[in-house]
Structure formats: C-alpha cells, structure tokens
Structure 1
Amino acid sequence: MKKNHLLIVMLLLCSGNLFANFSDTTVKGVAVVFSYSASIFPDSWRTVEINAYGKEIASAEIDRTKEVAIKALRKYPTPLLTANLKAIYFLKEMEFFKTPFGGTNSSDNLYITSDGLTHGYTNDYIEQTIHHEFSSILFRNHPEYLDTAAWNKANEPGFVYNDAAGGVGAIQNNQSSQDVDTILCKKGILTQYALSAMENDLNTLAQNLFCPNRGFWKAVEKYPRLKTKVILLISFYSRFNPAYRESYFRKFDTYGDGLL
C-alpha cells in the first residue's frame, strides 16, 4: 500500500510538471522559460488565421540563451520589469500566419527564438530581439511618454511606413533586414525593417540603444533625422528610469563608435 501510495504521488507530481523544464528560471521577477506547450500563446493567437506554432528549444542552446537573457534583463530596473513583463519564452522556432518569426510579444510576455550560432542566433541577435520586443510592450503601455508628432516629423516629408500589416508583410516578403543601412539613415530610418511601421522603427532603435550594431552611433552622429529619433527615444526611456541617458546607452557600444 505504501509503495502504491508513493507511486501515485510521484505520478501526480510528474503530471503537474509535464511541461516544466529544470532550466526554467526567474530573473528580477521575470520568468525565463525554455519548456514549451501551445498554452504559452494567448488563446487569440491559436485561431485558424494566426495559427500559432512553436517548437521547444534544443537543450544545447539553453545555457547560452539563459546567460543572454540575464544580461539583457539586468539592464532594466526591477520595478519597470515587474510592472510590464511577466515572462520570456524561448523556442527553437515559431510561426504565425504560416510565417516564421524570430520574436514577438503579447500584453506582458516575450516570445524569442534561439536556434544556434550556425543559424545566425548570436548572443547579440538574441539580446537585441529581447529589447526589440520589450520596447513594444513599453510603448503600448505608455504611448504618452513618446512625442510621436516629433518622431514622424523627423522622417522625410511625405514619408509613409510601407506595411499595413505592421511588419508581417515585410517578413513575408523578405524585407526585414536589421542591418544598418546608410542610405536609409539619411531619411531617418536605420534599417530596412524599420520602414514597415512606426513601432518597428522604434523597436529597431531600441534594440540598438541597449545592444548596438557596429556603426550605430556613428550613424546617429552623422544623420540628423536619425539623431532626432534617438534623442526622442532616450527621453521615452528616461521616463521609466532617470539613469537612462545617452551616456548610459553609449557604454554598451563595443566597437568604439559610442565613445563621447
């Protein structure tokens, strides 16, 4: 009887943690999750149209990805995270609208893919994607912190963001490069993907504030329209944390571009 009782308890414990992963952790109050089930996605994403799909991250990628997540989250004060972010879910791959996504966000969660260095998922790429997606949540929660009129005025006269689908079309049409594009920089746009929507424009600059690409700060100094947006975005972030000043963000540059 005792053996049977113990077996039942063990089965109950296992079933209650069916989707748990011993590598899952919590960083500054944010759950960092590597286990996967379809339930991580909001119900509204599991419709025929959106058809959210994911695949569990490879175990070999967990430790490296966890280190990147810790590094990224440490750049935010705990109260900011507590008020805006519950969890980051890492997956090997995910799809929405039958289209592969590298990252996305819900009201208070991030969903990020990490599929190995050989497939381009470098530490910088993963960290940038975290900041990229989190900036969407912050902007959605506090749009009043950003002077959007001044932001749009920083674009060239007559400029219109080119993707009515908010970036999905850009991804589907292979127009989502995140490389710094000096031709676009003259127009106040950092990358090809930033052309798609104002939010993606903001996201792209945000990821470069916290984890800059080579040439980012040089481009900011060279192109006035771009610099205006960066100043506006730093002002946005400073509403969350007074320490978020230009000097704070420039210290993340590892290429020498951001030295004052």
Structure 2
Amino acid sequence: MRGWIAIFFVFLFFTGCSAQSKTDDKGTKSLYLELEKKYGISIVFEQLEKKFPAYWLEPPISVTYEPLVFQDLSEIHKPIKDALSQYPSNVIKKNLRYIGLAKKLYFYGTFYGATYTQTDPDRNSIFLSKDSDSVNLNSYEYIFDSIHHEFSSILMKRYPFPEAEWRKANIKTFRYKYEDQKIPGLEAMKNQEHLQKEESPFVRGFMSDYGMSSLEEDVNVFSGVLFAYPDWMIDLASKHAIIRKKIVIWLKFYTSIDPAFNNTPLFKKYASKGLKP
C-alpha cells in the first residue's frame, strides 16, 4: 500500500511540475509578445536559419548556431526589455524588424556575440548570442550592451553620421587598425582585441582596444557603454577631452535621428552634467 501511495505522490509531483512549466512558458511567451506589440518587431529564437541572408549560409561565412532552450528566454527578457526602453518607441519601430536569439552564433568559424544585417529578407535585424566569451560581463550586461552595440550600426547606416567630426576628435596621427580590412571586427576578434589589453585606452579617446579596429566599432563600443554606464562615462568625460568630444558627437547624432531622445532619462542625465548635443 505504501508503495502505491509513494507512486501516487510522485505522479502528482511531476504532474504539478509539468503544469507549472506550461504556465511559466505561457508567461514568458506573453512577455515577448508584449515587446513585439509595443515596438512592432518580431523576436525569434527558433529556426533562425530562415531569417539569415542566404549568403550567410555559404562559405566563407558559413553561419551556424546553437539554439536556445526555452528556459533561457526568461533570463534574457529583462535586458532586452530594458535596452529597448531607452529609445523613443518610434526609433525602434522605424529601424528594427527582428531580434534573433541563439545560445551561440558562429561566423567564419568564430564565435560572435552579436551581429546585424541590412540584407533582405530581413534587413535591419539584430542577432544575439546569449552566452558570452567575456568573463567581465554577466548575462544581463552582455545582452544589454549587445543590443545597443549592434543597433548603433543599423542607425549609422540609415542616418547621416558625422564621420568627419568623429575622426577629427581622434589624435591626428591615429589610424584605425583594421579599417582597410573587409570585416574589421572579425580581425580584431581573431587577435583577441575584443578583450581589454591596453591599460588606459581612455587617454587616447577609446573605450577599449576593440574600438580601435574601425570607426564603426569605435562608435559601437561607445554606444554600449553610454547607454549602460552613464555615471562612469560622465566621470571619464571630466578627465579625458577626446572622450568628451565623442560623447557630444554621439549625443548630437542620436538626437538628430529623433529629438525625443532629449526627453529620455539617460539624455537628461547627460545634459544635467553639461554633456549636450
């Protein structure tokens, strides 16, 4: 009799767990549906290959990915939501179509934390890896930064970026290390320049060695840090003239896309410290 009772309670336990799991799954899905509805985007984590441009599937790019398990979605929802909330909603609606999510992405046989595409069928889309190769960032920071990093590239392609002014802010003798390469960011990653090596790139007006690979990567890195760590950037701006110049140029670019940026808490914070477009 006791054996049957034990089996009965085990059955109830797993039935309860299954029901709870289904409830949790529905709750997680509803959270993503809310984001999709609010911003007019699609967030995809299954069959990403259907969203990749055809040429990504062919050599030498040969994109592959490890799919997410459903439980990962609840973990990465908050950084996605928080990152998108820092933009006027119209900026997202006009310039972003898809966010593709994977556990890991590989391009050219190399791990990619994130990338974007402006190629049909799904131009203006971002693809993110949940897992990071950085020991310095937790999952929240990594996803949050990656969205801003990649979205800044899309915005740079769609709106007039003040490239000459940005270059002029650099030291006169400086040249971006991999700017002549077809894919500067890939060259930097191959040489592990996405990992911090130089003790103080701030003195030269950069946030990391990786930012020195090309102008686009420079802006990408600034974008991630400016959105994520305003207090730190305000402090750096008070100490390093080039960083201050680049912050002002960056603010000017984003507010030229939509003046509503000026009304966001982040931009108000920068303005309160004298960092204005």
Q: Quickly name the TM-score band, shorter chain normalised.
A: 0.7 to 0.9
What is the SS of the residue equivalent to 1:215? helix
Name the structure 1 match of 2:189: 171
TM-score normalised per structure 1: 0.80
Letter of the structure 1 residue corresponding to residue 163 of structure 2: T
Name the structure 2 match of 1:98: 109
> 1:153-192, aligned counterparts within 5 Å?
153-163=168-178, 164=181, 165-177=183-195, 183-192=200-209
Q: CA deviation at 1:148?
A: 1.3
- Residue 112 in structure 1 maps to residue 123 in structure 2: no
- Are the equivalent residues in 1 in contact too, given 2:210–2:217 (CA < 8 A)? yes
The gaps in structure 2 that reach 5 residues or longer are 1-25, 119-123
Name the structure 2 match of 1:203: 220
Q: C-alpha separation between the residues in 2 aligned to 1:148 and 1:174?
A: 26
Q: CA deviation at 1:157?
A: 1.3
1:78 aligned residue (86, 89, 101): 89
Q: C-alpha separation between the residues in 2 aligned to 1:132 and 1:63?
A: 22
Name the structure 1 match of 2:77: 66
What is the SS of the residue equivalent to 1:243? helix
What is the SS of the residue equivalent to 1:64? helix
- Residue 50 in structure 1 maps to residue 61 in structure 2: yes
Q: C-alpha separation between the residues in 2 aligned to 1:43 and 1:233?
A: 33
Q: C-alpha separation between the residues in 2 aligned to 1:246 and 1:153?
A: 29
**Aligned positions, number:** 233
- Are the equivalent residues in 2 in contact too, given 1:211–1:252 (CA < 8 A)? no
2:246 aligned residue (203, 216, 229): 229
Moved more, 243-252 or 154-163: 243-252
- Residue 148 in structure 1 maps to residue 158 in structure 2: no
Q: C-alpha separation between the residues in 2 aligned to 1:168 and 1:32?
A: 25
Give the CA RMSD over aligned residues: 2.8
- Are the equivalent residues in 1 in contact too, given 2:207–2:222 (CA < 8 A)? yes
Letter of the structure 1 residue corresponding to residue 177 of structure 2: N
Moved more, 112-121 or 227-236: 112-121
Q: CA deviation at 1:51?
A: 0.3
- Are the equivalent residues in 1 in contact too, given 2:66–2:105 (CA < 8 A)? yes
Q: C-alpha separation between the residues in 2 aligned to 1:166 and 1:113?
A: 20
Name the structure 1 match of 2:266: 249
TM-score normalised per structure 2: 0.76
1:138 aligned residue (140, 147, 155): 155
Return the index of the structure with the highest Cα Rg. 2
Q: CA deviation at 1:221?
A: 1.8
CA distance 1:193–1:246, change in 2 (3 Å): farther
Q: C-alpha separation between the residues in 2 aligned to 1:251 and 1:182?
A: 31
The gaps in structure 1 that reach 5 residues or longer are 1-20
Letter of the structure 2 residue corresponding to residue 220 of structure 1: A
Higher helix share: 2
Q: C-alpha separation between the residues in 2 aligned to 1:56 and 1:162?
A: 34
**1:41-94: per-residue Cα shift (whole Å, max 9, x none)?**
111211111001111113222112122211111222222112210011111001
Q: C-alpha separation between the residues in 1 aligned to 2:92 and 2:263?
A: 21
Q: C-alpha separation between the residues in 2 aligned to 1:213 and 1:231?
A: 13
Q: C-alpha separation between the residues in 1 aligned to 2:196 and 2:128?
A: 16
